[in-house]
Amino acid sequence: MRHFLQENDFSMEETAEVFSYAFELKSNRSKRPTTDLVGQSWGMIFFKQSTRTRVSFEVGIRELGGNPLILDQSSTQIGRGESIADTAKVLSRFLDGLIIRAHGHEIIETFAKHSSIPVVNALTDFLHPCQIFADCMTLLEKMNTGTNPFVGLRGKKLAFFGDTSCNMANSWILAGAMFGMEISLCGPEAFKPGRNILELLENHNLSPTWSFTPTPEDGAKDADVVYTDVWVSMGCEEDSKSRLASMQPYQVDEKIMASAKDNCLFMHCMPAHPGEEVNQSVLDSEYSILFDQAENRLHMQKAILSKLSQSNHTI
């Protein structure tokens, strides 16, 4: 069974096809209905809050002709302790696919292990692959470098500011190694990337393309893109005070943007907290592309679901 739990779950060829199809779906959205998921029901389980992911998946499944079902954990037996293994086996009898947002990455891995339908990672504490694919699509679009990320993103430098141990930083470390991008991580020493993402690269024979600096003046040097995410991710609220204090020097402002290349883009996966990880004027600036990133979640996720659906039907 094919799943999309991490960015490199598709082969290079499949990844290029997914990106190409996402661009096609975007340019044809208003012209023709797509029928890739006709007759299919896809479940969505969110153990954490979501706006963009939940709405874009629900709309995307409908636009592909399928039927989305929102399965709130608190109103199902999962909330009362039914095992993930049993839940996955039962849902596999009813559904054609499952989209899950969870805290621990092991939760979606367990779902995938016990499911006979494709499972899609809609964010875990470890990785956010759907966001990264949509972000890479947005970069290709804005840089006008084609539709293939292995070609169009090669050699580009992305500077990630703030909590460089978070799921978005991990996903950029992985995507950077896949697509040949230089990833410059800049944040407090206490929030450097963890062992788990380094092991993932090693286990997949991917050479690291990232570096780390705690010096804000150095982090964005020669960058094509500056990226940041919230300083207090979902589930990290307990140490929010110390996080906010230690990350203050890494707020993306005009000075950081000026240290990057001319025409450097600013990206944020949202929700944004102006005055914390980024200031309002950078968010509102002409080089800020966060709403394009958000929109591309829809097109990219439709392409991912379509690919999984095709792959699983031919097996």
Cα-Cα-Cα-Cα dihedral sign, residues 41, 270, 48, 167: positive
Cα–Cα distances in Å, from 147 out to 67, 115, 124, 138, 179? 29, 32, 27, 10, 12
| Residue 131 falls in the annotated catalytic set | yes
Q: Is 123 in the site for ligand CP (CB under 6 A)?
A: yes
Those residues whose C-beta lies under 8 Å from the C-beta of residue 166, and which sit 6 or more positions away, are 191, 229, 233
* Span of 46-54, 65-73, 170-178, 245-253 interacting with ligand CP by CB under 6 A: 46-54
Our finding on whether 181 is near ligand CP (CB under 6 A) is no
What are the angstrom distances between the C-alpha of 266 and each of 32, 219, 259? 33, 14, 13
Tokens representing 149 are 């990320």
Is residue 101 annotated as a catalytic residue, yes or no?
yes
Nearer to ligand CP among residue 114 and residue 268 (C-beta): 268
| Binding residue for ligand CP, selected from 269, 278, 303, 305, defined by CB under 6 A | 269
> Does the footprint of ligand CP cover residue 228 (CB under 6 A)?
no
Nearer to ligand CP, 123 or 175 (CB): 123
Q: How far is the CB of 314 from ligand CP (least distance, A)?
A: 30
Cα–Cα distance for residue pair 36/30, rounded to 1 Å: 16
Site string for ligand CP, 125-144 (x = CB under 6 A): ------x-------------
Output the CA angle 96-100-105, nearest 5 degrees: 130
Catalytic residue among 130, 269, 299, 301, which? 269
Only segment of 49-57, 109-117, 176-184, 241-249 that touches ligand CP (CB under 6 A):
49-57
Region of 30-38, 48-56, 61-69, 108-116 interacting with ligand CP (CB under 6 A) = 48-56
The 3-state DSSP class for residue 23 equals helix
Q: What is the per-residue DSSP string for 36-81?
A: TTTT-EEEEEESS--SHHHHHHHHHHHHTT-EEEE--GGGSGGGGT
Known catalytic membership, residue 54: no
Residue 20 one-letter amino acid: S
Q: Among this protein's residues, is 73 annotated catalytic?
A: no
Q: Is 236 in the site for ligand CP (CB under 6 A)?
A: no
For this structure, is 229 an active site residue?
yes
The Cα–Cα gap between 222 and 161 comes to 14
Q: Which of 51, 116, 211, 281 binds ligand CP (CB under 6 A)?
A: 51
186 is annotated as an active-site residue: no
Active-site amino acid positions: 101, 128, 131, 229, 269, 297
Residue ranges in contact with ligand CP by CB under 6 A? 50-53, 123, 131, 269-270
